[in-house]
Structure 1
Amino acid sequence: MKKWFKSLGVAAMAIAITTTGVTAAGAASSLSGKIVINGSSALLPLTLQAANEFKKLNPKVKISASAAGSVTGPQSVRKGIADIGACDWDASMDVPGFKKFDGQVANRVAVIPFAAVVNKNVKVDSLTNKQLADIFSGKITNWKDVGGADADIVVVNRAFGSGTRVNFQLKALNGVDFMTKGSNYKEVKSSGDMKTAVDTTPNAIGYLDLVYVSGSIKALKINDVAPTEANVINGTYKVWGYGYYMTKGQPTGATKAFIDYVQSAKFQNGSLKKLKFIPLSAMK
């Protein structure tokens, strides 16, 4: 896993899973086919792990995965170049900024907590929704105005089409529009790029899903509530969303088997939790 995370900073990454294996019963699976997955970089670690495990059980199935942002998932499914579109919102419905993708089915696969993150030199530990909205819209430009040092804030944003951006804007900023330019504004294409930018830019603030929060970057509390699994489940931390695998109609064949595996209790309560996602069953 550590080797995978080192490569997550690329904007779009195609990965062919070629490991071989057998079923738990010892007999090779007869399931065959090819599954192409595109879309959310937030869901990429989950997709890679699930693909690796699924391939060991079904060595005749080939899986390739890429991550260029949530909107590219359902777009790729619509164009017929992907079987699964990984997306951080239900793309079968209208959401602010995006029309629904007719004919697509949204298959929930995970609960994704998102967090505001800052560079290690930032001395602020908690911000309110209003303070976050004012920072990301450009109204507050110095850390001293929110209890930090006298230093210009560097805002790092995801490019339009990011599902993490959609969720963060709706749930952390209460729908307030982002700033889009300025000398202290940066825009990145993927979750990995966001992590790198915040980690290497003094006084920077950005946002990520929890699976990417590691090393020296710091996740902020929002309204004094930490972005933890427990706080998402108990309802006190509000900045989270469902992750979806979009398909053209109901999934069939190897695609259905793969989605079923990701939704299975074994994966949900095992690898998915280890990656800092939250099982679907926890929110029922």
Structure 2
Amino acid sequence: MKKWIKPFTAMLMAVSLVGGLGGAMTASAAKSTEKGKIVINGSSALLPLTLQAASEFKKDNPKVKISASAAGSVTGPQSVRKGIADIGAVDWDASKDVPGFKKFDGQVAHPVAVTVFTAVVNTNVGVTNLTTKQLQDIFSGKVTNWKEVGGSDGKIVVVNRKFGSGTRVNFQQKALDGKDFMSKGDNYKEVGSSGDMKTTIETTPNAIGYIDLPYVTSKMKAVSINGVAPTEKNVLNKTYKVWGIGYYMTKGQPTGATKAFIEYIQSNKFQNGSLKKLKFIPLAAVK
């Protein structure tokens, strides 16, 4: 009896392994059946998320080509409307009217991430906290020197995003309570993307701007607002208010590879994995 137990056990293990491998091969094959091309345009705040998701998705779907660019949130749904993009990445729900922008009829909004926005300053600025009123005064041009808000003597350089930026929409509405930005002056700069904002803040002494957390580096300082730091913890405990939900807009309900890609970025695997590592917050965490 003992003589054939081990061979029989080994045979069972082999059958089990073959079955397991067959299942894995079937699952892998199922993952790779999607094919086609997905064109994504829009929010530069969401670009790190889009690029990471695309890299992961293409590993399991090698027949799908994904191209992504970022020229500002409003260009996302505009590109979808024109038929030159399958997905428009935007920092607000563009299927509804928001201050300054009419809704894009016929488009469906798919939430993909919670984005935390923060005021940022160059590392030479000695200020780490500002009140809502101080931010309003700085970005409107009323306050022009850091010593007026507790910093050392230095002329403030205000860096703003161009009109159409979703980061600008969120920061203006939630950090400035809707107050207007200044729009000109020798201490005023305007940039076209989150990447441009990052570079400008890092390299411009006395500069202040705003950006989403994935772009914050050691060459700048994220500023607390009313004593509350821009962290995931403070968003979830409802003490930090400057955040928003990022969306992928599609013309009608998506199908094929586009649908599969959106489902991947909304999946628990991605939401609780790479998305969190990139300093975004999972959608389920704020429900």
Question: Is this contact kept in 2: 1:154–1:184, CA < 8 A?
Answer: yes
Kindly provide the amino acid, as one letter, of the partner of residue 220 in structure 1: V
Partner secondary structure for residue 220 of structure 1: strand
Question: Is this contact kept in 2: 1:191–1:208, CA < 8 A?
Answer: yes
The structure with the largest helix share of the pair is: 2
Question: Is this contact kept in 1: 2:121–2:220, CA < 8 A?
Answer: yes
Residues 283 and 63 of structure 1, relative CA distance in 2, 3 Å threshold: same
> 1:97: which partner in 2?
100
Residue-pair matches, total: 263
1:162 paired to 2:165: yes
Query: So what's the TM-score if we normalise by structure 2?
Result: 0.90
> 2:117: which partner in 1?
114
> 1:72: which partner in 2?
75
Question: Equivalent of 2:202, from 199, 203, 225?
Answer: 199
Question: Equivalent of 1:83, from 62, 86, 100?
Answer: 86
Aligned partners of 2:224 and 2:151: how far apart in 1?
14
Aligned partners of 2:32 and 2:109: how far apart in 1?
27
Partner secondary structure for residue 205 of structure 2: coil
Partner secondary structure for residue 133 of structure 2: helix
- Aligned-residue RMSD, C-alpha: 1.2
Partner secondary structure for residue 194 of structure 1: helix
Aligned partners of 1:23 and 1:129: how far apart in 2?
56
- 1:258 positional shift: 0.2
Larger Rg: 2
Question: Is this contact kept in 2: 1:23–1:56, CA < 8 A?
Answer: no
Aligned partners of 1:73 and 1:53: how far apart in 2?
22
Residues 56 and 23 of structure 1, relative CA distance in 2, 3 Å threshold: farther
Partner secondary structure for residue 70 of structure 1: coil
Aligned partners of 1:133 and 1:72: how far apart in 2?
27
Question: Is this contact kept in 2: 1:229–1:278, CA < 8 A?
Answer: yes
> 1:266: which partner in 2?
269
- 1:37 positional shift: 0.2
> 2:151: which partner in 1?
148
Aligned partners of 1:185 and 1:209: how far apart in 2?
20
> 1:219: which partner in 2?
222
Percent identity of the aligned residues? 79
Aligned partners of 1:31 and 1:165: how far apart in 2?
36
- 1:33 positional shift: 1.2
- 1:26 positional shift: 4.2
- 1:215 positional shift: 2.2
Kindly provide the amino acid, as one letter, of the partner of residue 219 in structure 2: S
Aligned partners of 1:33 and 1:23: how far apart in 2?
22
Moved over 4 A (4+): 22-26
Question: Is this contact kept in 2: 1:23–1:57, CA < 8 A?
Answer: no
Question: Equivalent of 2:44, from 38, 41, 53?
Answer: 41
| Equivalent residue runs for 1:45-64 within 5 Å | 45-64=48-67
- 1:130 positional shift: 1.0
Partner secondary structure for residue 93 of structure 1: coil
Deviations 1:97-150 (A, max 9, x none): 111100111100000000000000000010011110110011111101100011
> 1:248: which partner in 2?
251
- 1:252 positional shift: 1.1
Question: Is this contact kept in 1: 2:38–2:65, CA < 8 A?
Answer: yes
Question: Is this contact kept in 2: 1:40–1:68, CA < 8 A?
Answer: yes
Unaligned runs of 5+ in 1: 1-21
Kindly provide the amino acid, as one letter, of the partner of residue 72 in structure 1: T
- 1:23 positional shift: 7.8
